[in-house]
Structure 1
Amino acid sequence: MRRATCMNPDEKLSAMPSAPSFLQRLIGRADPRGGLRPLYEAVVREGRQPHWYVEGAVPDTMDGRFDMIVAVLSLALMRLEQQGAAQESVWLTELFVDDMDGQLRQEGIGDVVVGKHIGRMMSALGGRISAYRSALEGGGDLPDALRRNLYRGAPVAQDALDHVEGALRSRWTRLGCLTRDAMLAGDIG
């Protein structure tokens, strides 16, 4: 008969694998969203480019930056869907949600309210994807979609609107020329 040996409680804890690594080994893979991080970071970088806010007169506010990042993200999500990369599109959206959640918490928004804000942001993303898809794929009116969604109905100078429209159309064309792998690597510039 074997005798049970007692372990020091600290030894027991140090002998246990950490939960994430244990689960990753159990499941056998890392977070699949990690492969979308270069693309997400490129989308955010593009959405923060000064020309949108200077020549394009997008309001340089939290809301304006959110709207600009969502505009660029919408283009990337639509191109991923066109390439048959529906799962990657979902993962890219999840990275966006995680980022927005972190941004809200950093601003001091509490747990109770964060979910409501995220819900509104996801609704905004869905609405913008629909508006930009209609304008870029269906022959809709991109300037009108930009006035409603990017400028939120505020008056905007025609040359600023022309700048944003031209830059987004160029970005749309550029994304259409990329392979799926190039896009996932964040080569959207």
Structure 2
Amino acid sequence: MTGISIGWLARRRARKAATGKAYGGLMKVALAPDFYLTGDVADTFDGRAQMVTVHAALAIRRMNALSGAEPAKIAAALNARVLDGFDAAFREQGVGDSSIARKVRKLAEAHYGLGTALSQALDSDGGESAVIEVLERNGVTQKGRGAGLAAYLCALAMRLEQQDDAEILTGAIDWVPAAEVR
């Protein structure tokens, strides 16, 4: 093997490991009971999928803030892993094979839309009120119930922005449970 092939393989393995580590932490924090027990987010398949999406959006937003091709590749791999997880969740529910593709496509469209809207709200000057509007408009929270989740997401986004770039690239994202951020 040449040096180029070995370097490519090592980067690919590192990317896969970083994606797996980021995904594992993302799922742990997104599915933690904090927001479901308070009723801020519906404890349903869609509510949980939306929580996965908002956390994925924060991670991908942070990775996309880094320069170079590797952060973009890790962000894309993380996004693909999230979508694969949605597919697997439908299969676990026993959804028929003929309808899985349609359901995953619909969920993927919602995932991209919510993720993009949340990133734009975080980048705007609107602060928490812009995030609340996105959460309520997309049905993540009921009207009047988005303040706690918005405060958490804004604080988490700020915390991720302060995290070391090298840690982010290894997938060691500092996912903090809502109870610790509130």
TM-score bucket (shorter structure): 0.7 to 0.9
Residue type at the aligned position of 2:174: D
Q: Which has the larger radius of gyration?
A: 1
Structure 1, 73-82 or 106-115: larger mean CA deviation: 106-115
How far apart, in 2, do the equivalents of 1:45 and 1:74 lie? 15
Structure 2 unmatched runs, 5+? 1-5, 177-182
What's 2:180 paired with?
A: none
Asked if 2 retains the 8 angstrom alpha-carbon contact of 1:40 and 1:186, the reply is: no
Map of 1:15 onto structure 2? none
- What's the counterpart of residue 51 of structure 1? 34
Match of 1:61 among 44, 57, 62: 44
- Contact kept, 8 Å, 1:36 with 1:88, in 2: the verdict is yes
Indicate the SS of the match to 2:146. helix
Identity of aligned residues (%): 22
CA-based RMSD: 2.2
Q: Does 1:35 align with 2:18?
A: yes
Mapped to 2, the partners of 1:58 and 1:52 lie a distance apart of 6
Output one character per residue of 1:92-124: Cα deviation in whole Å (capped at 9) or x when no partner.
011112211111111112222211122112211
Count of aligned positions:
160
1:96 corresponds, among 82, 85, 90, to: 82
> 1:150, CA displacement in angstroms?
4.1
- Whole-Å separation in 1 of the counterparts to 2:21 and 2:112: 22
Query: With structure 2 as the length reference, what TM-score do the two structures score?
Result: 0.78
Where do 4+ consecutive residues of structure 1 move more than 3 Å?
27-32
TM-score (norm 1): 0.75
Shift in Å, 1:181: 3.1
- Offset from partner CA, 1:103-155 (integer Å, 9 cap, x none): 11111122222111221122112111221122100224111101012436xx4
Question: What is the rounded CA distance, in whole Å, between the counterparts of 2:160 and 2:139 in structure 1?
Answer: 20
Shift of the 171–28 alpha-carbon distance from structure 1 to 2, 3 Å rule, reads: closer
